[in-house]
Amino acid sequence: MAYAASGLIRLAGGSGFNFWAYQTVDAIATVNTAGYFNGAANMLNIRDVILVADSNAPTSSFVTVLTNTGTAVDVSDGTAIAETDSD
């Protein structure tokens, strides 16, 4: 798939740092590919944090914006959020 602007929502931010949520059917291995967020280059800042929710798996991960040239965005590989339910 590809980046969908409708899936990216700014949750909080200030002083050039933002926290975003992004819902997608794409796996984290697709989302963390360089260039995936190029369509949001005008919104994302270096060090912004994005909570990526893959509605297909379902899994959740945190990624950070590592680089943004103004047209090309690269994010970190992602840190998986452990989702357990032991009851």
Tell me the whole-structure pTM to 2 decimals.
0.93
Mean pLDDT of the 21-43 span: 97
Query: What pLDDT does residue 43 have?
Result: 96
Q: State pLDDT tens for residues 1-16.
A: 799 999 999 999 988 8
Q: State pLDDT tens for residues 41-82.
A: 999 999 999 999 998 888 999 999 999 999 999 999 999 999
- What is the rounded CA–CA span in Å between residue 42 and residue 38? 9
- What is the rounded CA–CA span in Å between residue 86 and residue 55? 21
Domain ranges of the chain: 5-80
